[in-house]
Structure 1
Amino acid sequence: MEKLLNIFVESIFINNMIFAYFLGMCSYLAVSKSVKTANGLGLAVIFVLTITVPVNYLLENYVLKEGALSWLSDSFAGLDLSFLSFIMFIAVIASMVQLVEMVVEKFAPTLYSSLGIFLPLIAVNCAILGGSLFMQERNYSNIAEATTFGFGSGIGWWLAIVGIAAIREKIRYSDIPAPLKGLGITFIVTGLMGMAFMGFMGIKL
């Protein structure tokens, strides 16, 4: 349980997808103009990461990795399908994003309209694929660890986009120098938020 808590805290604060790896910056910058749309996209990212990381963990360990198919027959023990990792991971992500898109369109049409093209673009959001690739690289020992990492990474991304959206709503009425308006001040604030999150690296887990 302690290890799961460590993975969860690390994925939110220390290895934050936005502030540590700059993954998913396009959606982060484009959709963070209002808290409502940022919150909607953030929740969608949490859902997709929480589902796709454990599914891709099972895919990696029981289908793709060398020897993973030994449960079928001993004749498959030497088969290595790891070269298919990228395309299989993306296929799982795309199918989950399609499911999210249909649900949001059905139950929250206003949010669906606000998110526009950025909702289906979750499928190619590098934070989503990055979650599965980090899971693969870190070689988690069970599906609970992979699920915790996916959920924590989603929470971290949601915190980042809702945080910047709240700040952007406030500074809209501030006296900002003309050359810094828009993306200029957003990049500066993002850098400051990244430095603030670096302070969590001092946490001893």
Structure 2
Amino acid sequence: MSEFIFVLIGAALVNHLVLSLPALAGTPPGARLRFIGPATALLILLAAPLSWLLQRQLQAFDLGYLHLMLVLPLLATLAWGIQVLILRWQRPEQPLDGLLPLLLGNGAGLGALLAGTSAESFPIALTLGLGGGLGFWLILQLLNDLFERVEQCDVPTPFRGAPLQLICTGLMGMAFLGLNGLGAA
């Protein structure tokens, strides 16, 4: 049982790659972030165990090299389905244009390809998906809070916009880098 707790904590706080994604620096705040967080968390939660299952099936037939080629259409379908599902639950007046590529890019490579293929069993893949999704959502919320605080500050003109967002993202990455080794024996 403790292995699952370490996997969950490790996936949520230590082994995430969210902060190294270049698309994250331009993540829009507000209503779009409230969509991206839960949608990506759900995508990672579903994609990691499905990727694990697909890889095991392909390895049974000695076709493991086809994993990437087959998992990408699966992830695109999952991302599209999650977007449609959440759009039905959200208010229609919220601007959600162009979120499918962002959702697919942020969640798919992260949750399915990394966590799903490195897991030893299906429950561990599911736990990695859950922890990775929750960690992604946590980091997006923390970055959104940081960006909101920075907007209230008096920032020199050359640093406004993307440069300051990159600096904030780098500082957040360094803060989470301090959690490396958490749960290590």
- TM, length-normalised to structure 1: 0.81
Q: Distance in 1 between matches of 2:92 and 2:171?
A: 32
Contact 2:16–2:136 (CA under 8 A) maintained in structure 1? yes
Deviation, 1:10, is: 0.8
Residues 25-64 of structure 1 aligned to structure 2 (within 5 Å): 25-26=22-23, 28-34=24-30, 36-61=31-56, 63-64=57-58
Q: In 2 relative to 1, CA 203–64 (structure 1 residues): closer, same or farther, beyond 3 Å?
A: same
In structure 2, stretches of 5+ residues that fail to align are none
Q: Distance in 2 between matches of 1:110 and 1:172?
A: 28
CA offsets 1:30-57 (integer angstroms, 9 cap, x no match): 33422x4213201100101111111111
Residues 1-205 of structure 1 aligned to structure 2 (within 5 Å): 1-19=1-19, 22-23=20-21, 25-26=22-23, 28-34=24-30, 36-61=31-56, 63-65=57-59, 68=60, 79-110=61-92, 113-123=94-104, 125=105, 127-135=107-115, 137-138=117-118, 140-205=119-184
Contact 1:57–1:136 (CA under 8 A) maintained in structure 2? yes
Deviation, 1:14, is: 1.2
- Determine which structure has more spread, i.e. the larger CA radius of gyration: 1
The DSSP-based 3-state class of the residue aligned with 1:148 is helix
Deviation, 1:108, is: 0.8
Give the aligned partner of residue 75 of structure 1: none
Deviation, 1:120, is: 4.5
| Structure 1 residue ranges (4+ consecutive) displaced by more than 6 angstroms after TM superposition | none
Q: Distance in 1 between matches of 2:28 and 2:142?
A: 9
- TM, length-normalised to structure 2: 0.89
CA offsets 1:52-75 (integer angstroms, 9 cap, x no match): 1111111111x211xx1xxxxxxx
Q: Distance in 1 between matches of 2:4 and 2:50?
A: 18
Number of equivalences: 184
Deviation, 1:137, is: 4.7
The alignment-based identity, stated in percent, is 24
Judge which range, 46-55 or 127-136, deviates more.
Answer: 127-136
The DSSP-based 3-state class of the residue aligned with 1:98 is helix
Q: Distance in 2 between matches of 1:126 and 1:171?
A: 24
Contact 2:48–2:116 (CA under 8 A) maintained in structure 1? no
Q: Distance in 2 between matches of 1:107 and 1:202?
A: 39
The DSSP-based 3-state class of the residue aligned with 1:175 is coil
Q: Distance in 2 between matches of 1:114 and 1:149?
A: 31
* Residue type of the alignment partner of 2:4: L
